[in-house]
Amino acid sequence: MKHRKIVFTGGGSAGHVTVNLALIPYFLQKGDAVHYIGSRDGIEKELVQSVEGVTYKGIATGKLRRYLSIQNLKDPLRVLKGVGEAYRYLGEVKPSIVFSKGGFVSVPVVLAAWMRKIPVVIHESDLTPGLANQIALPFATHICTTFQEAAGHLKGKKAIHVGAVVRDELRQGDKERARRWLGFEEGKPVLLFMGGSLGAKKMNDTVQVIVSKLTETYQIVHLCGKGQVNEGMNSIKGYKAFEYLQKELPDVLALADLVISRAGSNAIFEFLSLNKPMLLIPLSEKVSRGDQLLNARSFETSGYAKVLLEEDLSEETLLQSILLLDQNKEKIQSRMLEYERQDAVAEIIKIIESSRLA
């Protein structure tokens, strides 16, 4: 039997990689040749290169900036260069399909695949598509959505609602293994702060100011983002900070009683699948397109989360919000159990297989 080839793309943040990481094991086990096209130095390179059996290719890519920068004038040239590099690589690999999770690195790959007449399946996690996926949509065969409401924001009939993709390994966490690894004591609840792979400086700074008050009641795992760990604070009893976690994350999530996080769609659906009450601090519209605000409001309306706007974030409001979350955790978990779970991974695999070149 001749095994086929599949190319994955997506990057810029961990959220643009996690769905790919959930799908890749299936195709590796099936015997497909799995390739990944990402940026030359983005977080996707680090995350994907740790997966045995995947061939990684770095290309030139632009970046979406929501501020004035001379780099904005150079980005179109980088994208064009990336299209050329992706076009040549796809010609060498000859995959039967490309699967894109989004992020600006995916734009050159999707365009190159369309030029090569290779089918493209896109995944959109948020209620409304990001700019990269908006650009890529006309060149895609299908777009898989996490939110049911997302189809209303997409033109044509390409949208297919598949539900939330959750990595299977996240459900295999061992809380006692995490407790031993962290050196935490039994009987004292654990807070998990997640600023995302790129971090959340205001949240990080606020947590560090009130850490002594928090550790009176809780033990804390603080995922600060790349380059944002204050190593001096790791000597505080009951507090551990990391840039981000990979293999240890399932265990730490199993141990966590409450989660305080940004409102990226992939992450919050993972918390929902694990029944973790969450306080969401979404990126504001000043520095984003507002997708996290929509995600957070949807989860708050459904009863899965409490929300603290970044504009309202202070030492006092964070302490109050954590207390309110703790007081309502059983009610939140009860609502989470009512969530209708779908096997999104299986649905996406069906779509990929039905869309592939013969």
Residues 107 and 22 both lie in one domain: yes
The Cα 311–Cα 357 span in angstroms is 49
The Cα 80–Cα 178 span in angstroms is 45
Q: Which residue has the tokens 């959505």?
A: 145
Residues 44 and 72 both lie in one domain: yes
The predicted structure's pLDDT at residue 180: 97
Mean pLDDT of 212-241: 92
Interval 245-259: pLDDT, tens: 989 999 999 999 999
Residues 234 and 326 both lie in one domain: yes
Residues 198 and 331 both lie in one domain: yes
Residues 175 and 316 both lie in one domain: yes
Residues 38 and 92 both lie in one domain: yes
- Positive or negative, the CA dihedral 340, 310, 326, 178 is positive
Mean pLDDT of 6-30: 93
Beta bridge partners of 159: 143
pLDDT band, very low/low/confident/very high, at 73 (cuts 50, 70, 90): low
**Triad 108, 44, 52: Cα angle to 5°:** 115
The predicted structure's pLDDT at residue 70: 54
Residues 116 and 230 both lie in one domain: no
Write out the two tokens for 290.
């507002």
What phi and psi values does residue 335 have, to the nearest 5 degrees? Answer: -65, -35
Q: Residue 322 above 90 pLDDT?
A: yes
Residues 201 and 349 both lie in one domain: no
Residues 191 and 295 both lie in one domain: yes
Q: Where are the beta strands (DSSP E) in the chain?
A: 5-9, 33-39, 54-59, 97-100, 120-124, 142-145, 159-161, 190-194, 219-223, 239-242, 258-261, 278-280, 305-307
Residues 328 and 351 both lie in one domain: no
- Burial bucket for residue 106 (CB in 10 Å: 0-12, 13-18, 19+): buried
Residues 181 and 202 both lie in one domain: yes
pLDDT band, very low/low/confident/very high, at 358 (cuts 50, 70, 90): confident
Please, what is the end-to-end C-alpha distance for the chain in angstroms? 14
Share of the chain above pLDDT 70, in %: 94
Q: Residue 63 above 70 pLDDT?
A: no
Residues 332 and 347 both lie in one domain: no
Domain count, the chain: 2
Of the candidates 135, 92, 110, the one whose C-alpha atom is nearest the C-alpha of residue 8 is 110
- The CATH number of residue 214's host domain is 3.40.50.2000
Q: 285 vs 59, which has greater pLDDT?
A: 59
Interval 145-198: pLDDT, tens: 998 888 777 766 789 999 999 888 999 999 999 999 999 999 999 999 998 655
Mean pLDDT of 230-239: 90
- Domain limits at 23? 5-163+342-355
CB within 8 A of 156, min separation 6: which ones? Answer: none
What value does the mean pLDDT of the chain take? 91
194: how many CB neighbours lie within 10 A of its CB? 30
Write out the two tokens for 65.
């900036």
Q: Residue 18 above 60 pLDDT?
A: yes
The predicted structure's pLDDT at residue 1: 44
pTM (whole model) above 0.95: no
The Cα 193–Cα 259 span in angstroms is 6
In three-state secondary structure terms, 62 is coil
